[in-house]
Amino acid sequence: MKSVDAHLAEILATVRTLAPLELELERSLGTTLAEEVSAPVPLPPFDNSAMDGYAVRAADVEAVPVTLPVIDDVAAGSDELRAVGPGHAVRIMTGAPMPAGADAVVPVEWTDGGTVSVTINQSAPAGNAIRRAGEDVQAGEVVLRPGTVIGSAQLGIVAGVGRRRVWVRPRPRVVVLSTGAELVEPGLPLRTGQIWDSNSFTLTAAVRESGGDGYRATTVGDDPARFLEQLDAQLVRADAIITSGGVSMGAYEPVKEALSPLGTVRFEKVAMQPGMPQGFGVVGDDQVPIFALPGNPVSSFVSFMLFVRPALRKMRGLPAGAPETVSAQVMGSLRSPAGRRSYLRGVLADDGAVTPARGQGSHQLAALASANALIVVPEDVTDVPAGASVQVIRL
């Protein structure tokens, strides 16, 4: 059997980092920056007031109380400014440019709030409540480097330096296609032998959580020809395809039957539990990577975490490898098949104790939903006693 590490290595060697493109700022959330972004001007661009109050000469408010004439009113955005002469005050708002001559701002709370003249009750030292030009960023300074994932604050600074469009590696578009004649859309009634399709929802959501744009395609039954038609229709909008089901040893395995003859997708047994049957390869003229995951709900989810998620990171231009693990102490005994690496579901507490979930079957989706960690049991270990130290992957 192929090892988990060898399978991941093959996947990472096959998938390519997506080419950069220039996107409108609004569409760049969750993408990876592919250029250096710098500020064309200093930020703030000019000295300005940090508070609503009065711009004065500090020397004029050393002895208080003092009453000064208010010679002007400046709001943020004002561009016609009168200089503040000795003994004068200018009413000023937060963000408004400092008028020439003034070297301090007295907050309105320290005054009587007058508009013709103002009585100041507390001294303000030179520089008080002034935000200097370039205090955030100098002109020409780099604010974001390539490889940065654009979140809300990063999107904000791109706008803040005046950019409308930005070069990024896009979020990978991933089409999720589940197969199985027994599958029914949630919301519709079940007949004997049917189950509601959950995998396509789980996997599409997992794509989104992993920084991709997941598209859930219509489920296909057990007919390989129908599967190929649907795959063909979806390829135009996909940077990667995920299928679920139809990859093991049964009589109706549409994914395996449809893809094996192409010669570009391999179906193998990977030494893990759950998730042993795996298909991976490329399809179509553009050699789109395809992950043919096993149909059991826990198996497809675990396969996604181990293989698809790192691949999506590589496509996004981010460092990619096996999921990180942390040490934990297991609160019950565990069993694992010899020669296979197990990923058992557990609840990891803040104190580093991990409690195995009640159901460890590949079909026990509720137990997966109750878990927040996968407990990793190495290939050469078959019994883990309660209290042992284990490695876990946080979900």
Ligand X SMILES: Nc1nc2c(c(=O)[nH]1)N[C@H]1C(S)=C(S)[C@@H](COP(=O)(O)OP(=O)(O)OC[C@H]3O[C@@H](n4cnc5c(N)ncnc54)[C@H](O)[C@@H]3O)O[C@H]1N2
- Rounded CA-CA distance 372/375 in Å is 10
What is the nearest approach in angstroms of ligand MOO to the Cβ of residue 253? Answer: 14
Question: From the list ligand X, ligand MOO, none, which binds 182 (C-beta under 5 to 8 Å, kind-based)?
Answer: ligand X
Rule CB under 6 A: is residue 247 a binding residue for ligand X? yes
Rule CB under 6 A: is residue 239 a binding residue for ligand X? no
- Quick one: 170 or 245, whose CB is closer to ligand X? 245
Rule CB under 6 A: is residue 98 a binding residue for ligand X? no
Rule CB under 6 A: is residue 199 a binding residue for ligand X? yes
C-beta separation of 295 from 247 below 8 A: yes
Rule CB under 6 A: is residue 197 a binding residue for ligand X? yes
What is the nearest approach in angstroms of ligand X to the Cβ of residue 1? Answer: 11
Positions touching ligand MOO (CB under 6 A) are 273-276, 294, 296, 299, 362
Rule CB under 6 A: is residue 295 a binding residue for ligand X? yes
What is the nearest approach in angstroms of ligand X to the Cβ of residue 246? Answer: 5
- Quick one: 200 or 303, whose CB is closer to ligand MOO? 303
Contacts to ligand X from residues 248-267, by CB under 6 A: 248-250, 253
- Quick one: 61 or 270, whose CB is closer to ligand X? 270
Distances (CA, A) of 202 to 122, 302, 305: 62, 11, 12
C-beta separation of 129 from 49 below 8 A: yes
Report which of 54, 121, 66 is spatially closest to residue 91, judged by C-alpha positions.
54
E strands along 21-101, which residues?
21-24, 32-33, 37-38, 48-49, 53-56, 66-74, 89-92
Question: From the list ligand MOO, ligand X, none, which binds 204 (C-beta under 5 to 8 Å, kind-based)?
Answer: none
C-beta separation of 163 from 154 below 8 A: no
- Rounded CA-CA distance 80/94 in Å is 16
Rule CB under 6 A: is residue 279 a binding residue for ligand X? no
Rule CB under 6 A: is residue 183 a binding residue for ligand X? yes
Cα dihedral 208→209→210→213 (10° resolution): 10
- Candidates 25-33, 119-127, 190-198, 209-217 — which segment interacts with ligand X by CB under 6 A? 190-198
Rule CB under 6 A: is residue 296 a binding residue for ligand X? yes
Report which of 247, 244, 242 is spatially closest to residue 291, judged by C-alpha positions.
242
Quote the Cα angle for 300-378-331, to 5°: 90
Q: State the DSSP H helix or E strand holding residue 167, giving kind and residue range, or none if neither.
A: strand 165-169
- Quick one: 19 or 251, whose CB is closer to ligand X? 251
Rule CB under 6 A: is residue 362 a binding residue for ligand X? yes
Rule CB under 6 A: is residue 297 a binding residue for ligand X? yes
- Quick one: 150 or 247, whose CB is closer to ligand X? 247
Local structure of 318: helix, strand or coil: coil
Rule CB under 6 A: is residue 246 a binding residue for ligand X? yes
- Check residue 143 and report its DSSP letter: E
- Rounded CA-CA distance 331/292 in Å is 34
- The token duo for 255 is 């994914």
Binding site for ligand X (CB under 6 A): 178, 180, 182-183, 195, 197-200, 244-250, 253, 274, 276-277, 294-297, 299, 362-363
